[in-house]
Chain A
Amino acid sequence: MGLTDYCFKKSLWLFHFAGASCNNCDIELLDCLTPRYDVERFGMVLVGSVRHADVLVVSGSINQKCRSRLLTIYEQAPKPLLVIAVGACGCTGGIFAEGNTFAGPVDSIIPVDLYIPGCPPKPEAFLAGIVKLLNK
């Protein structure tokens, strides 16, 4: 077992960074915590600071004002860190990629381990994505 596998063996803690998003992915992610989906039974919780997190979840397109903040947050995070790009905007920039403030999709700024496409992805898609990532 490598160091990376060892780090992600137990409960994953998530930090959620909402870029210039429309909030849909954010509420679907919060939905995962509530009684119907309840990801806390797998030990996944949203934490308030990226310094406590194993996973950085980035939703929404990234504009010029939040690009530097995303980089700062990525640098603050303890490594190894899994990065998940959520939604069409997180994966490619989506409908906002033509905007004059667009600063590149998430993977042009920080390395991404998992893409969860959809507008917005359903809570089931979040769970399926994380399971796939852990079994990789």
Chain B
Amino acid sequence: MPEKTIIPVGPYHPLQEEPELFKLYCDGEIVTDIEWETGYNHRGIEKINESKTFEQVFFVVERICGICSTSHPFAYANAMEEIAHVTVPDRAKYIRSIVGELERIHSHLLWVGLAGHFIGYNTVFMWAWKYREPVLDLFEIITGNRNSYAMFKIGGVRRDIEEKDFSTILTILDGLKPKAEMLMNAVIDDPVIHMRTKGKGILTRQDIIDFCAVGPTARASGVDIDIRRDDPYAAYPLVNWKVIVAAEGDIFAKAVVRFLEIFESISIIEQCIEKMRKEKPGDIEVKVKNIPEGDGSGRAEAPRGEVFHYVKSDGSNAPVRHKIRAPSYVNVATFKKSCVGQTITDATLALAAVDPCYCCTERMASVYDARTRNKILDGTGLIRMSQEQTRLIQGRKSKVEGQRSKVEGRRSKVEGRRSKE
């Protein structure tokens, strides 16, 4: 490879406000700098919202990101309820939290699968996505759709969870637990995954504070932040759960944090259902007739971190200004630290570790020679490189083991002969 190359990774990146083009500047195989450019997925959502009524905005913000399609309505509902001074009934709070936590489970499983694909473990990809399907079934039972749930409204939720569905939900979650545990142990115990992810793409506590990173990215580096606890909303103050924090800050720690959060989420859902049994069925909303003048901000913890919505109302039925900040927008800035100094194969993984829905980025990634502008590698090539690295490590390992078993074989032969003599 020539000594200076630029690798554009992108531009297609599906998460609403952060469809970026990453340019990795490389010296040989080492990434020396990274640059990014946004705007490829700009749909003008904030502007569209100004032409919608407050209730209609829910359906637009739900479609900011398909994977976080609860978090954005959640934050928006929090903002609207701050303006209208509404207290949501407890049953609605539990339903909101259940949907929010189910989303976290499906999003984390999705990430584990994609990360597995990037390091060349397609088995992990298939497993994780197979175990994600029951969660989508749960969504279908509760909300009627696999994605884009349309559950939220100002003052409550649109649908109740019926008594007869409780047992189905609990059965499916019980079935999910051992499978997720098996998957977690398989990933955490794998020596090849250790070699690919431990000590790679490290973000220290100070880096996280400097870049204002949020969510599992921050929690994996020892920064103990979680909006669910720090700015309590919905049913989170009413149930027992803990914030998962790891200290290492590498890619492996991010995977561990996400896995443990899956189990935390399952426990939150179980507690919510247990508490919901005591609430009166059908008591799921407070009627809100009109929205007074004023402004409000709402926050919610999405699977990727803090979502922030700011809404300004002038007393009419539509927002005057709607400002949205999604978590990946701050998290991608950490690439400046996590990717620089890594090899290209590890940088590809470090980009994926923040969970910026990398699935769509990789197809458009290509390596160009900085001087001649000739294409050297494309997206599939990059993934192939990453997968080959894993195979190389596996090969080395099996070679060592093979030699060891050969030596042992010889030894046992010798011993066998000796015993015969």
- Distance, CA A60 to CA B357, complexed state (A): 15
Asked if A119 and B47 make an inter-chain contact with CB atoms under 8 angstroms apart, the answer reads no
Assuming A96-B48, A99-B43, is B129 touching A120 (CB within 8 A)? no
Asked if A35 and B379 make an inter-chain contact with CB atoms under 8 angstroms apart, the answer reads no
When each residue 48-84 of chain A gets 1 if its CB lies under 8 Å from chain B and 0 otherwise, what string results? Answer: 1100000000001101011001000000000000000
Does residue B12 face the partner (Cβ distance < 8 Å to A)?
yes
Does residue A107 face the partner (Cβ distance < 8 Å to B)?
no
Asked if B43 and A24 make an inter-chain contact with CB atoms under 8 angstroms apart, the answer reads no
Closest 6 interchain pairs by CB?
Answer: A24-B66, A48-B380, A23-B14, A99-B44, A34-B129, A23-B66
Does residue A5 face the partner (Cβ distance < 8 Å to B)?
no
Asked if B48 and A119 make an inter-chain contact with CB atoms under 8 angstroms apart, the answer reads no
Residue numbers of B with Cβ under 8 A of A are: 11-12, 14-16, 19, 39-45, 47-48, 51, 59-60, 63-67, 69, 110, 113, 125-126, 129-130, 133, 146-148, 357, 359-360, 363, 378-380
Binds B, one of A25-33, A108-116, A128-136: A25-33
Assuming A23-B66, A49-B380, A98-B51, is B147 touching A28 (CB within 8 A)? yes
Other contacts beyond A16-B363, A119-B63, A122-B146: 7, CB < 8 A: A22-B63, A23-B360, A35-B129, A49-B380, A99-B44, A100-B44, A102-B43
Asked if B130 and A22 make an inter-chain contact with CB atoms under 8 angstroms apart, the answer reads no
Of the residues B47, B65, B133, contact of A99 by C-beta under 8 Å = B47
Does residue A3 face the partner (Cβ distance < 8 Å to B)?
no
Asked if B43 and A101 make an inter-chain contact with CB atoms under 8 angstroms apart, the answer reads yes
Does residue A91 face the partner (Cβ distance < 8 Å to B)?
no
Minimum CB–CB distance from A61 to chain B (whole Å) comes to 6
- Distance, CA A96 to CA B65, complexed state (A): 13
Asked if B15 and A23 make an inter-chain contact with CB atoms under 8 angstroms apart, the answer reads yes
Minimum CB–CB distance from A13 to chain B (whole Å) comes to 13
Asked if B129 and A31 make an inter-chain contact with CB atoms under 8 angstroms apart, the answer reads yes
- Distance, CA A24 to CA B110, complexed state (A): 12
Of the residues A18, A27, A95, A100, contact of B67 by C-beta under 8 Å = A27
When each residue 4-21 of chain A gets 1 if its CB lies under 8 Å from chain B and 0 otherwise, what string results? Answer: 000000000000111011
Asked if B378 and A48 make an inter-chain contact with CB atoms under 8 angstroms apart, the answer reads yes
- Distance, CA A31 to CA B39, complexed state (A): 27
Residues of B within 8 A of A34 (CB): 113, 125-126, 129-130, 133
Q: Jot down 17 A-B pairs with beta carbons below 8 A, ordered by A.
A: A18-B12, A20-B42, A22-B64, A23-B14, A23-B357, A26-B360, A27-B147, A34-B130, A61-B43, A65-B40, A66-B11, A95-B63, A99-B43, A100-B44, A101-B42, A119-B63, A119-B148
Asked if A96 and B43 make an inter-chain contact with CB atoms under 8 angstroms apart, the answer reads yes
Assuming A30-B359, A99-B47, is B129 touching A24 (CB within 8 A)? no
| Chain B facing A: main interface SS | loop
A18, A26, A63, A101 — which one has the most chain B CB atoms within 10 A of its CB? A18
- Distance, CA A60 to CA B66, complexed state (A): 11
Assuming A16-B363, A66-B12, is B378 touching A100 (CB within 8 A)? no
Q: Which of chain A's residues has its CB closest to B106's CB?
A: A27
Asked if B19 and A26 make an inter-chain contact with CB atoms under 8 angstroms apart, the answer reads no
Asked if A63 and B42 make an inter-chain contact with CB atoms under 8 angstroms apart, the answer reads yes
Residues of B within 8 A of A101 (CB): 42-44
Assuming A23-B360, A26-B360, A63-B42, is B130 touching A35 (CB within 8 A)? yes
Residues of B within 8 A of A61 (CB): 43
Asked if A95 and B59 make an inter-chain contact with CB atoms under 8 angstroms apart, the answer reads yes
- Distance, CA A21 to CA B12, complexed state (A): 10
Q: Which of chain B's residues has its CB closest to A89's CB?
A: B63
Does residue A41 face the partner (Cβ distance < 8 Å to B)?
no
Assuming A20-B43, A22-B14, A36-B130, is B378 touching A49 (CB within 8 A)? yes
B63, B69, B378 — which one has the most chain A CB atoms within 10 A of its CB? B63
Minimum CB–CB distance from B318 to chain A (whole Å) comes to 13
Of the residues A20, A27, A31, A49, contact of B19 by C-beta under 8 Å = A20
Residues of A within 8 A of B63 (CB): 22, 24, 95-96, 119
Asked if A36 and B133 make an inter-chain contact with CB atoms under 8 angstroms apart, the answer reads yes
Minimum CB–CB distance from A10 to chain B (whole Å) comes to 22
Asked if B66 and A27 make an inter-chain contact with CB atoms under 8 angstroms apart, the answer reads yes
- Distance, CA A100 to CA B44, complexed state (A): 6
- Distance, CA A28 to CA B145, complexed state (A): 12
Minimum CB–CB distance from B53 to chain A (whole Å) comes to 14
Minimum CB–CB distance from A99 to chain B (whole Å) comes to 4
Minimum CB–CB distance from A68 to chain B (whole Å) comes to 11
- Distance, CA A16 to CA B359, complexed state (A): 11
Assuming A20-B42, A65-B40, A96-B48, is B14 touching A26 (CB within 8 A)? yes
Minimum CB–CB distance from B307 to chain A (whole Å) comes to 14
Q: Which of chain B's residues has its CB closest to A37's CB?
A: B133
Residues of B within 8 A of A102 (CB): 43-44
Asked if B14 and A18 make an inter-chain contact with CB atoms under 8 angstroms apart, the answer reads yes
- Distance, CA A35 to CA B359, complexed state (A): 18
- Distance, CA A63 to CA B69, complexed state (A): 21
Asked if B66 and A22 make an inter-chain contact with CB atoms under 8 angstroms apart, the answer reads yes
Q: Which of chain A's residues has its CB closest to B66's CB?
A: A24
